[in-house]
Amino acid sequence: MAYLDDVIIFSETREEHDDHLLRVVTRLSNAGLPMDILKSEFLQEEVKFLGLIITPNGIKMDPEKVSAIQDWLLPKTLKDVQAFLGFANFYRRFIYGFSDIAKPLTHLTRGDPKL
């Protein structure tokens, strides 16, 4: 069983977007896949998706996720360090020198489970 929840359609122009939208809606309908119009958003310039914000100018971090990293409690166990690194690693492309910054924490994951 496959589960599909979000469909994002990007187009260069409004005319192109209308065409793409019609094609997607038609294909979903032909495949018997329901679409909830009340939960749908159309013609958005900015979209939050998978912890990122997608804009016409590119992709950036969601400020809520930045706050989550900044407010993260100090890790007390190996599992805590691994959880933080896993979360932060998702955003490594936005953080210059991430591997150097994370290196001390990464080294901790090779040691004692009690920090």
pLDDT score at 97 = 95
Burial code (b: 16+ CB inside 10 Å, e: under 16) for 101-112 equals: ebeeeeebeeee
Count of residues in the chain: 115
- Exposure of 87 by Cβ count < 10 A (0-12 exposed, 13-18 middle, 19+ buried)? middle
> Do the Cβ atoms of 72 and 84 come closer than 8 Å?
yes
Where exactly are the structural domains of the chain? 1-43, 61-115
Mind listing the pLDDT tens digit for each residue in 21-61? 999 999 999 999 888 889 899 889 999 998 899 998 999 99
The rounded mean pLDDT for the chain is 89
